[in-house]
Amino acid sequence: MRRLRVFESISVDGYFCDAGGKMDWAHAGSDDAEFAAWVGGNASGGGELLFGRKTYQMMEAFWPTPMAARQMPAVAKGMNAARKYVASTTLRPTWNNTQLLTGELLSAARDLKASDGPDVTVLGSGSVAAQLGAAGLVDEYQLVIIPVALGGGRTLFTAGRQLRLIDQRAFRCGNVVVSYAT
């Protein structure tokens, strides 16, 4: 059985987007060479990706471009080569190696986990990640904690969620990456 991971940037007070739905604050640390190298290595780790519609559209608009290849060549190469799934009832994907998940999200995710293949990472897609987590389908969370307090917004977690720390790493820019098993 495949493992399902969530990779998400969150504020220090636990939100994946602010009260207005914006995520521009989540790019902190891009000028930290050590953090940028970690991001590049993490993105080239293999596996498959799962997106919600909004995140897919943001990613599709950037990663296949020459600008992405210049700015972050290792990440762009990994993103473009990876098998991608998108959860949407309205979108028709055009980015290479992308398959539309059909049917109800939780059922489709269960089927994906039960199928043969590499692990699957939900990248961003906070709404999808929150639904999968609430249903107990997430095996691991890898969170980049950005040192900004938003004071409100949307969270990945329901009350009472217990997680077990499996790894942590702090960077000079103040970002901290933590991995938790469920």
Query: What is the pLDDT at residue 45?
Result: 65
Listed as own residue / partner, the contacts of 161-167 with beta carbons closer than 8 Å and 24 or more positions apart are 161/133, 166/140
List the chain pLDDT tens, one digit each, 182 residues. 899 999 999 999 999 988 888 888 887 666 888 888 887 777 766 789 999 998 999 999 999 999 999 988 888 888 999 999 999 888 889 999 999 998 899 999 999 999 999 999 998 888 899 999 999 999 999 999 999 999 999 888 877 778 999 999 999 999 999 999 98
Query: What is the pLDDT at residue 31?
Result: 80
Range of the domain at 8: 4-181
Query: What is the pLDDT at residue 29?
Result: 64
| CATH number (domain holding residue 129) | 3.40.430.10
Query: What is the pLDDT at residue 28?
Result: 66
Report how far Cα 7 is from the mean position of its chain's Cα atoms: 4
Q: Which residue has the tokens 């990994």?
A: 78
- Any idea of the CA torsion for 71, 57, 133, 72, to the nearest 10 degrees? -10
How many domains, the chain?
A: 1
